A and B are shown apart, each in its own frame.
Chain A
Amino acid sequence: MSTVLLHALAHARTGDKGNRSSIGLVAFDPADWPLLVEQVTVERVAALFATRRPTRVARYLLPRLHALNFVIDDVLDGGVNSSLNLDTHGKSLSSLLLTLAIERNHSQETR
């Protein structure tokens, strides 16, 4: 077993609408998509964003695109017009998602 950052296995982009953040997560290698589905769970994403007090985290699977889409409600301190954050849109939150640790077994490492 070994641990890698999600950043090594997938890329991501954040969008925002009001106080809701959405993050598309895409596997570099389609063969890693099941690993993302297994480990980048609603619970782990909610925990990662816990200090922003999400009221709901939804996860949508897109197997044909080797992607997952996360919709995280009420985490932008009111959104682009009322947040005090430098990054009022929460654009940087895709990079926060990519800090998740992913466990791989030997066969997955050598792929």
Chain B
Amino acid sequence: MASSPVLRIGCGAGFSGDRWDAAVPVVRTLVRAGGPAVLMFETLAERTLALAQLQRRRDPDAGWEPSLERFLRPVLADCVAAGIPIVGNFGAANPRGAAACIQQLAAALGLPPLRIAVVEGDDLLESLAPQRLHDLMPPAIAGKALVSANVYLGAREIAGALRGGAQVVVTGRVADPSLALGPMLAHFGWAMDDWDRLAAGTMAGHLLECGAQVAGGYFADPGVKDVPDLAHVGFPIVEMHADGRFVVTKAAGTGGCVDRRTVTEQLLYELHDPAAYLTPDVVADITRAELHEDGRDRIAVRGIRGHARPPTLKATLCHEGGWLGEGEISYAGPNAAARAKLAGEIVRERLRSQGLGHLRVRCDLVGVSSVFADDDGRWNDAHALPDAPDVRLRVAAASEQRADVELLTREVLALYTCGPAGGGGVRTALTPRLGSASCFLPREWLAPRWGFVA
């Protein structure tokens, strides 16, 4: 890409479950603006990658983002025509599989073969000796069967692939903001120790990575924080300058809003120490960051500083985590909460008397007390719970043994005839669980790389 005063980066998805049509107005806006632009997709939560690894075990060609085709079909031809590269971590546990899918999609759309690059080296199950991996496992998960082990790579390989002319860059696990920083490195040629600029690019990526969350999504509170046309909320676009100043805005002709409030909430989202946001590329510091209004739905961000990147990289290890069992039943009208509470006590007693007294059984009275409460019920003991006209009991427990939690669901079902008066609408679910833990490892152990796929 030739050097230009502004690089635009639009976000087409902020998680695997995001809207399939969100990228369309983003790409339309990027095309109309002209000038260099990149479209990024962030679809890889911690758990998503472990699920992808399980899929790949069953089918060696699978293990990439299941909605990949649905995300790209509406925008791929326009991006190719306008020279807008696409960067996404939709490769999950199988970037080459995702690349093959994209190549097939291009052919189906009548496009010539694309230059698709994959970034690899994040998968520790492939790249580390088993003993070394074993030694990395925190004591809390020692002896567990690992499903996935992936290190968060940085922006360098993405930048290399774009400099090499990639039209699409497919990654597995990379730090989410690196999906945006990579294109900035390629475009502006920032040095890998230009910490202030790397930090600015990282925080711009941080604001983009959750999609609508910076543009009025996850924000509305009717009468307090109203958001226009949230049903068509626009996804964000960053306009980055060579010196690290940037503007956050959103796709034209969409709902939502970008203002100081939405940007501040998202700037702090999942940050711990605001002076030290650790990524593989840089340690970012937002303590002197300033936001300025720059027109409608435009916020200029300045004052982000950076410090030398950490010597280690973070990895997430996922292991098989047994089963979650859940059962629900509703009670309404006079004395509803008392009947729901009694139903929960009956399920507890039934499990205890059948030898499962060791299980931690959680009872929620949805409509009275649920998500604020803790698993051990201390919140419910500490607060006077009111009656309510319409209450849903939810009982939940987890166990290594499927049969244990299956019994829980049977006992909720049996409340129909054996429980309190007037219970209805039983639903039950059994879900396999994944556990996870984090660890840190030296960069020297890894060999991240990028390459074109045939």
Contacts and interface: CB of A to CB of B under 8 A. Distances in A.
Contact of A13 (B265, B273, B286): B265
Interface of A: 7, 11-13, 15-18, 20, 22, 24, 26, 28, 50-53, 58, 60, 62, 64-67, 69, 71, 77, 79-87, 92-93, 96
Contact of A84 (B303, B318, B375): B375
A90 to B, nearest CB: 8
A51 B271 contact: no
A17 B438 CA distance: 10
Interface of chain B, main secondary structure = mixed
Contacts of B378: 51-53
Nearest to A13: B265
Contact of A51 (B264, B291, B379, B433): B379
Contacts of B268: 13, 15, 22, 24, 26, 62, 65, 67, 69
Contacts of A93: 372
A79 B47 CA distance: 12
A15 B270 CA distance: 4
B289 to A, nearest CB: 7
Interface string B216-233: 001101001100000000
28 contacts: A11-B221, A11-B224, A12-B265, A13-B218, A13-B266, A16-B270, A18-B436, A22-B271, A22-B272, A24-B264, A26-B261, A26-B264, A28-B261, A51-B379, A53-B374, A60-B275, A64-B290, A69-B272, A71-B273, A80-B46, A81-B435, A83-B375, A84-B362, A84-B375, A84-B396, A85-B362, A85-B371, A85-B375
Interface string B422-434: 0000000000011
Nearest to B379: A51
Interface of B: 46-47, 218-219, 221, 224-225, 261, 264-275, 286-291, 303, 318, 321, 324, 360, 362, 364, 366, 370-375, 378-379, 381-382, 394, 396-398, 433-438
A89 B212 CA distance: 18
A51 to B, nearest CB: 4
Given A51-B378, A80-B47, A87-B371, A64 B289 contact: yes
A81 B264 contact: no
Nearest to A15: B270
Contacts of B397: 84
A84 B446 CA distance: 36
A62 B362 contact: no
Contacts of B267: 24, 65
